[in-house]
Structure 1
Amino acid sequence: MASILRTSRTKPVWSSLARARFSSTAPKNTTLKERLAELIPLELENVKRVRAEHGKKSFGPVLVDQLYGGMRGLPALIWDGSVLDADEGIRFRGKTIPECQELLPKAPGGAEPLPEGLFWLLVTGEVPTQEQVTELSKDWAARSAIPEFVEEILDRCPPTLHPMSQFSLAVTALNHNSAFAKAYQDGVSKKEYWGPTFEDSMDLIAKLPNIAGRIYRNVYGQGKLPAIDPAKDYSHNLSTLLGFGDNQAFVELMRLYITIHSDHEGGNVSAHTGKLVGSALSDPFLAFAASLNGLAGPLHGLANQEVLVWLSKMQSKIGKNASDEAVKEYVWATLKGGQVVPGYGHAVLRKTDPRYTAQREFALKHLPEDPLFKLVGQIYNIVPDILLEAGKAKNPWPNVDAHSGALLSHYGLTQMQFYTVLFGVSRAFGVAAQLIWDRALGAPLERPKSYSTQAIEKIFKDKA
């Protein structure tokens, strides 16, 4: 078996224009909204130029198998925040995860990038200054309170209601105070849609820690919710609301976790759903609530929970520190039982997910002797060969979900049903950034053409 870092050295081709747009740093002494107002006219001209040069060109054929195969690989969306390369993995505005870890501002004494900086990068394509990130932290803290009626909705939910259902309910209810919904009713110009969309997106992201923290404490009995600290960064406040703010390693994990889970181009279920619902001019709260309902599916965000369930069952069956042979037998038993190995395979990636690699490097630094982490590494050295031998996967390598649960459980966050809520907090960054740009660029209502099986047969019969 090859090295644990099975990542491609092949670099995607980036145009000189892309390099110029995606490698700059943010001008000093501007807020995110002020910088966005400067960038929108430039991007409108850029989109106009691209459409004039390439708008009538074909972007590739459509195969009937793609229509029946869940539109897999079908080029159909514009998504500016990130692009997923099958071999290299995700790039946020042209930057790899290691580059983001190096370039984005960090908390004092911290080593992982602050999600505030990642959001600035997703929105502008620029690396912000430390001061700009600090101001963004303060802005989100100032917006973080949730309405009393939303608190009451959450407090009345039975603890047996899945945390993701509660999360979606609360985010939907935030629509009550939507700046975009009010502006639309007041007849705001289409050219100005981006402004209230920006305000809603900022409010959305800011309020998620309070929502997530309230759900966690209601469901798992962790006591009264502490207040947001305006002097702390977003991840620190989220960690505190969950009861882990005193553990600096957990806070660092949250900074990394939110950053790497924030965006994964536009074709995944949560991202595409947010874009689709937003295209109907539903406000960001309604659009993101729809995203959360997609993220809650076991083939999407719920997969990290499925991984930890599988690992726990394995440990209970074969014990801790089991031999490679025992692990192999358990993996084969899983496959022969008609089940998949959770956390392995990806719709796009054909190499190890760089998000998995980033989490592994974090574990090597902070928890190298953790038994569950050791099992995750042991499985990585075993499962790909078995999947290839069994012919079960085009991509036998692990994705992000194969690792995240082991890290969270190490620090005491063992409530697996809550894991997708953290994924949801993270994914808001990517969905919100794209919603802002969709309204700024005047993106239209999405309305792809559908066909029945009978119509497909008739098309090809008529061509024969």
Structure 2
Amino acid sequence: MALYRNAASKFISAHQKVHPLAALATRTQYSTESTDLREIMSQKIPAMQEEVKKFRKAHGVTKVGEITVDMMYGGMRDMKGLVTETSVLDPEEGIRFRGYSLPECQNVLPAAEGDILVIVYCTGDVPTKAQAKALSKERANLADLPPTWSTCSTTSPSTSTPWRTKLPTVAATIYRNLYHDGTSIGAIDPNKEWSANFTAMLGYNDPSL
């Protein structure tokens, strides 16, 4: 979004004589000292929400370009049609992650093992080595499957794909544990199609769904 806001601000400035927003995409932002990604996100999200709110209020009706039929048939190149936070694929210079090109990532990001790009994606900041390693450690600690799940997977026939059909049930169980005090997902109705069963397992029984 920083890239988009920067480009949009330049466009608006040139046509409406308003001051552009800060060039967020061209500024290296270093993260806080905390190694808890949840804490970092909880601090950044409200400020980002407020920034977007102000930007939309000031420029919500501003036109940022024109779209032709040829552009649509040409793969939507150079069409400003979506605000993206994490990455943007430029037809000329390639992909950028949170405003950083691949060469810039190599120069700016710390040369350390760890989930560096995950933190850049989530926060837009350059993480410290300690933060990257802390996230890698946390993800590794949560990666093991419970013994019952491993047994189910290893004892299933090699030609079967049991997890694909069970994933909705697993997801619904996790959802109800988080948001419905661990209440039961109920019985799966073999006479209903996949989406109807899934929404029912989540706890949404409105027929309009």
Fold shared by both chains (TM-score > 0.5): yes
Give, in whole Å, the separation in 2 of the partners of 1:182 and 1:89: 42
Distance 1:158 1:184, change over 3 A: same
Q: Which runs of 5+ in 1 are unaligned?
A: 1-11, 108-113, 187-279, 284-464
Distance 1:65 1:99, change over 3 A: closer
Give, in whole Å, the separation in 2 of the partners of 1:39 and 1:122: 13
Letter in 1 for 2:118: F
Distance 1:75 1:167, change over 3 A: farther
Distance 1:19 1:59, change over 3 A: closer
Give, in whole Å, the separation in 2 of the partners of 1:34 and 1:123: 12
Give, in whole Å, the separation in 2 of the partners of 1:40 and 1:54: 21
Show the counterpart of 1:86. 91
Aligned with 1:34 (options 35, 39, 48): 39
Query: Cα distance, 1:142 vs. partner?
Result: 1.4
TM-score by length of 1: 0.31
Letter in 2 for 1:128: P
| Contact 2:114 2:133 (C-alpha < 8 Å) held by counterparts | no
Q: Which runs of 5+ in 2 are unaligned?
A: 1-5, 11-20, 182-198, 203-209
Query: Cα distance, 1:30 vs. partner?
Result: 4.2
Query: Cα distance, 1:31 vs. partner?
Result: 1.4
Query: Cα distance, 1:139 vs. partner?
Result: 0.8
Give, in whole Å, the separation in 1 of the partners of 2:115 and 2:25: 22
1:19 paired with 2:25, answer yes
Query: Cα distance, 1:97 vs. partner?
Result: 1.4
| Contact 2:86 2:122 (C-alpha < 8 Å) held by counterparts | yes
Show the counterpart of 1:175. 171
Aligned length: 165
Query: Cα distance, 1:156 vs. partner?
Result: 5.0
Letter in 1 for 2:144: A
Distance 1:54 1:149, change over 3 A: farther
Query: Cα distance, 1:16 vs. partner?
Result: 3.4
| Contact 2:108 2:126 (C-alpha < 8 Å) held by counterparts | yes
Q: CA RMSD in A?
A: 3.6
Give, in whole Å, the separation in 2 of the partners of 1:168 and 1:75: 36
Give, in whole Å, the separation in 2 of the partners of 1:117 and 1:142: 17
Query: Cα distance, 1:176 vs. partner?
Result: 4.9
Give, in whole Å, the separation in 1 of the partners of 2:98 and 2:92: 17
Letter in 1 for 2:180: Q
Aligned with 2:180 (options 165, 176, 185): 185
Show the counterpart of 1:140. 139
Give, in whole Å, the separation in 1 of the partners of 2:75 and 2:91: 16
Query: Cα distance, 1:81 vs. partner?
Result: 0.6
Show the counterpart of 2:82. 77
1:50 paired with 2:55, answer yes
Instruction: Give the SS at the match of 2:47.
Output: helix
Instruction: Give the SS at the match of 1:90.
Output: strand
Distance 1:65 1:19, change over 3 A: closer
Distance 1:105 1:172, change over 3 A: farther
Instruction: Give the SS at the match of 1:16.
Output: coil
Show the counterpart of 1:397. none
Show the counterpart of 2:129. 130
1:349-368 maps to which residues of 2 (within 5 A)? none
1:95-174 maps to which residues of 2 (within 5 A)? 95-107=100-112, 114=113, 116-155=115-154, 158-160=157-159, 172=168, 174=170
| Contact 1:150 1:173 (C-alpha < 8 Å) held by counterparts | no
| Contact 1:150 1:174 (C-alpha < 8 Å) held by counterparts | no
Give, in whole Å, the separation in 2 of the partners of 1:77 and 1:156: 45
Distance 1:37 1:102, change over 3 A: same
What whole-Å deviation, never above 9, does each CA across 1:333-361 have from its counterpart, x for those lacking one?
xxxxxxxxxxxxxxxxxxxxxxxxxxxxx
TM-score by length of 2: 0.62
Show the counterpart of 2:190. none
Give, in whole Å, the separation in 1 of the partners of 2:31 and 2:48: 16
1:39-438 maps to which residues of 2 (within 5 A)? 39-63=44-68, 72-73=76-77, 75-107=80-112, 114=113, 116-155=115-154, 158-160=157-159, 172=168, 174-178=170-174, 180-185=175-180
| Contact 1:84 1:90 (C-alpha < 8 Å) held by counterparts | yes
What whole-Å deviation, never above 9, does each CA across 1:362-412 have from its counterpart, x for those lacking one?
xxxxxxxxxxxxxxxxxxxxxxxxxxxxxxxxxxxxxxxxxxxxxxxxxxx
Q: Pick the structure with more helix per residue.
A: 1
Letter in 2 for 1:95: Y
Instruction: Give the SS at the match of 2:89.
Output: strand
Query: Cα distance, 1:147 vs. partner?
Result: 3.4
Give, in whole Å, the separation in 1 of the partners of 2:176 and 2:66: 39
| Contact 1:23 1:125 (C-alpha < 8 Å) held by counterparts | no
Distance 1:168 1:90, change over 3 A: farther
